[in-house]
């Protein structure tokens, strides 16, 4: 199993960070390599999501289940046995009214050697690129962070 983790402290509330990360259908608009994300089923705080990732001309389709624990955590796991194991966890830890630490962890093990090769090329630094895109999305949706009043 390969694991990647990145953490940052952002000048937004946990609720704001959660709302951006939970808006999974918007990922194709700003998350690198996301071609499509469609919620196919909702059951309370559980979502079934059909995803398409793209690397150049290669398209990779898979389904996930997301469990939303507002505003502290989002857990995403693959429900496609054919691809192996994929787990993505977003955690949001309040530092102060306007500061939140976001932790993004990605764990994966693919059963196909082709998928393993593609994922290693794709995943190298992916958590960093996702968080960079996430920061830009926060600013686009909520505006630039307020200056520190310290």
- Dist CA 98 CA 32 (whole Å): 27
Q: What is the pLDDT of residue 32?
A: 87
Q: Is the pLDDT of residue 55 over 80?
A: no
Q: Of 80, 44, 52, whose CA–CA distance to 64 is shortest?
A: 80
* 80 occurs within a structural domain: yes
Strands 58-69 and 46-55: antiparallel
The reported pTM is: 0.86
* Peptide bond between residue 132 and the one before it cis (omega within 30 degrees of 0): no
* 148 occurs within a structural domain: no
* 12 occurs within a structural domain: yes
What CATH number corresponds to the domain at position 64? 3.30.530.20
Q: What is the pLDDT of residue 150?
A: 43
Q: Which domain holds residue 116?
A: 2-142
* 149 occurs within a structural domain: no
Q: How many domains does the chain divide into?
A: 1
* 147 occurs within a structural domain: no
* 150 occurs within a structural domain: no
pLDDT mean over 140-150 = 77
In contact, 32 and 133? CB cutoff 8 Å: yes
């Amino acid at each position: 199993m390969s694991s990647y983790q990145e953490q940052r402290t952002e000048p937004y509330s946990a609720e704001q960070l959660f709302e951006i990360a939970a808006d999974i259908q918007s990922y194709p608009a700003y998350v690198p390599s996301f071609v499509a994300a469609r919620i196919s089923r909702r059951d309370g705080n559980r979502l079934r999501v059909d995803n398409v990732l793209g690397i150049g001309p290669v398209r990779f389709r898979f389904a996930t289940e997301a469990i939303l624990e507002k505003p502290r955590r989002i857990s995403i796991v693959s429900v496609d046995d054919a691809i192996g194991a994929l787990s993505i966890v977003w955690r949001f830890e309040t530092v102060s009214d306007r500061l939140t630490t976001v932790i993004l962890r990605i764990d994966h093990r693919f059963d196909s050697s082709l998928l393993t090769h593609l994922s290693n090329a794709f995943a190298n630094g992916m958590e960093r690129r996702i968080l960079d895109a996430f920061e830009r999305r926060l600013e686009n949706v909520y505006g630039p962070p307020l200056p520190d009043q310290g």
